[in-house]
């Protein structure tokens, strides 16, 4: 099957332009589909389509080039027509965001004026139309900075790449139009992350992997530590959706690897939530955000949430690792600690595909493996922000009920139950 949007850029038969500034404002309708069908070989849109995965390009090709209906595509690929619709919606949303980013980054680079500085964190004023994007490189005659937070009305906060720089109000910096590709030294990070607030009132998010294993604090400081590609850009907007209220102030520090290219910079900006007036979200590129040494060096937090690639590879979202995540807000319940102990034992018992290794396990060890798998599946939960893409309604998990379910898993009351009942569930097993 020919991949969609990989051919040469040529003018379409209806003579439309190749700038596509108007695509962002077009709703999901026949007009949008005709626009994409007619213009997929042109300019920015061609580049945006080329950045999609092969499966996504093939899906577009079946619908827009071959003219197949959702039912016909579903029959061809072995999926439901509803799944086809959701995937096409997700692809169109991504294309809109990419085209919007292209339009914004094509504007002339701006000059920012330092408003204030607190250590390595500098607040700058740009004209609203020239505000740089997240992870942009700013330059002055003395140093370079990385944009770590975007604020309304042309304001940004940026971090100086060296911790000894001194900044005063009125200094000018220039947006280079390039991404910041470096990792901050540990000394710079230590100077940015504020002291923990030592709040003792838990902030209930109704996300069970947070509330039971690493609760956030009301008015507190939380750090998220993640590699790219483990669901961070879904977890963040979900947290904001659940906690962003006028009465709740929260600071979220997001520790991620450095951006590797301008294309990645654009995609991350298209997907990254900016926070709000109540919720500060500050993104900090570091060399290895989940390295044990780095995790232990960041002490100025009330809550630490670490995302696990191992859980992601098993299809468990959110991929919050209950073993490495922790909180100063409350002591874990006995049940939550027992779940962590069971997961540690499971990882210890993991064996190779060698049949001899499997035969060496005792019945008690096999029981521990089965229960650990159920408990790990129960860590997953449907998110509200993912509804348009998964077709699964978001759910709240009551912490007390979820704790009772985990206890039942540990006690063996769910032995023999299918794992599907615990996958993407709320606070209790779901009916499959």
Span 250-300, pLDDT tens digits: 999 999 999 998 888 788 888 888 788 889 999 999 999 999 999 999 988
The rounded distance, in Å, linking the Cα atoms of 185 and 374 is: 40
Q: Is the pLDDT of residue 4 over 80?
A: no
* Cα angle, residue 423 at apex, residues 421 and 425 outer, rounded to 5°: 80
Residue 306 · residue 141 · CB < 8 Å: no
Residue 32 · residue 26 · CB < 8 Å: yes
Angle, helices 262-271/81-105, rounded to nearest 10 degrees = 120
pLDDT value at position 141? 82
**What percentage of the chain exceeds 70 in pLDDT?**
85
Residue 288 · residue 318 · CB < 8 Å: no
Global confidence as pTM: 0.78
Residue 103: band (very low, low, confident or very high) from pLDDT cuts 50, 70, 90: low
The rounded distance, in Å, linking the Cα atoms of 278 and 287 is: 29
């Amino acid at each position: 099957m020919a991949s969609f949007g990989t051919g040469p850029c040529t003018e379409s038969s209806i003579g439309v332009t190749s700038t596509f500034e108007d695509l962002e404002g077009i709703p999901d309708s026949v007009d949008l589909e005709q626009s994409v069908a007619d213009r997929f070989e042109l300019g920015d849109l061609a580049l945006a389509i080329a950045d999609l995965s092969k499966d996504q390009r093939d899906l577009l090709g079946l619908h827009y080039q071959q003219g197949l209906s959702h039912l016909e595509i579903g029959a061809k690929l072995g999926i439901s027509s509803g799944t086809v619709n959701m995937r096409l919606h997700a692809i169109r949303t991504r294309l809109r965001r990419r085209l919007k980013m292209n339009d914004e980054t094509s504007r002339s680079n701006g000059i920012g004026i330092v408003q204030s500085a607190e250590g390595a964190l500098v607040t700058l004023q740009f004209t609203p139309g020239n505000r740089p994007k997240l992870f942009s490189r700013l330059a002055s005659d003395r140093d370079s900075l990385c944009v770590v937070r975007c604020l309304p009305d042309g304001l940004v906060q940026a971090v100086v790449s060296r911790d000894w720089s001194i900044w005063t109000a009125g200094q000018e910096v220039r947006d280079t139009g390039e991404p910041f590709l470096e990792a901050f030294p540990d000394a710079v990070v230590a100077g940015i992350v504020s002291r923990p607030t030592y709040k003792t009132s838990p902030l209930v998010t109704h996300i069970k992997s947070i509330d039971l294993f690493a609760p956030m604090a009301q008015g507190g400081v939380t750090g998220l530590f993640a590699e790219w590609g483990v669901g961070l850009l879904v977890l963040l907007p979900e947290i904001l959706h659940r906690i962003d209220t006028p009465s709740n102030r929260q600071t979220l520090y997001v520790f991620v690897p450095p951006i590797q290219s301008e294309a990645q910079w654009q995609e991350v900006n298209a997907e990254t939530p900016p926070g709000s007036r109540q919720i500060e979200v500050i993104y900090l590129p570091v060399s290895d955000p989940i390295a044990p040494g780095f995790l232990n060096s960041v002490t100025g937090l009330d809550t630490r949430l670490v995302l696990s690639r191992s859980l992601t590879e098993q299809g468990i979202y959110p991929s919050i690792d209950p073993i490495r995540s922790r909180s100063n807000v409350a002591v874990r319940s006995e049940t939550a600690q027992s779940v962590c102990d069971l997961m540690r034992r499971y990882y210890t018992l993991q064996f190779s595909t060698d049949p001899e290794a499997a035969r060496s396990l005792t019945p008690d060890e096999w029981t521990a493996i089965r229960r650990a798998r159920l408990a790990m599946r129960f860590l997953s939960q449907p998110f509200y922000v993912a509804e348009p893409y998964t077709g699964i309604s978001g759910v709240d998990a009551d912490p007390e009920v979820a704790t009772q379910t985990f206890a039942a898993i540990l006690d063996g009351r769910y032995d023999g139950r299918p794992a599907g009942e615990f996958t993407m569930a709320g606070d209790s097993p779901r009916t499959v």
